[in-house]
Amino acid sequence: MVAIKCQRCSRITWTAVVCNYCGKVVCDKCVKTSKRVKRRDIAKLHICKDCWSNLEKRKMYRNNVPLIISEFVVPKG
Ligand SMILES: [Zn+2]
Ligand SMILES: [Zn+2]
């Protein structure tokens, strides 16, 4: 397994995801919510707690629209 440092709280995690609204690699504690989307480019949308407090970003999340599609893939141990 590869340990990843959360870019929001600096915690070391093994279950990081990339926030689709700021592009940060965040741990499960910093992800506000995630959901599956029917898109070709991404399977899931993630939004971190910082972006959740931004009304525009939250609205995009509600409408299943990602702001950032990261190339980062969380390595699987
Ligand atoms: Zn974190
Ligand atoms: Zn974010």
Instruction: Tell me the CA–centroid distance for residue 48 and ligand 1, in Å.
Output: 9
Q: Which ligand is nearest to the CA of 8?
A: 1
Tens digit of pLDDT at every position of the chain (77 positions):
789 999 999 999 998 999 999 999 999 999 999 999 998 888 899 999 999 999 999 999 999 999 999 766 666 65
Distance CA 65, CA 12 (A): 29
Q: Which ligand is nearest to the CA of 51?
A: 2
* Rg of the chain over all Cα atoms, to the nearest angstrom: 12
- Contact yes or no for 47/33 (Cβ under 8 A): yes
CATH number of the 4-62 domain: 3.30.40
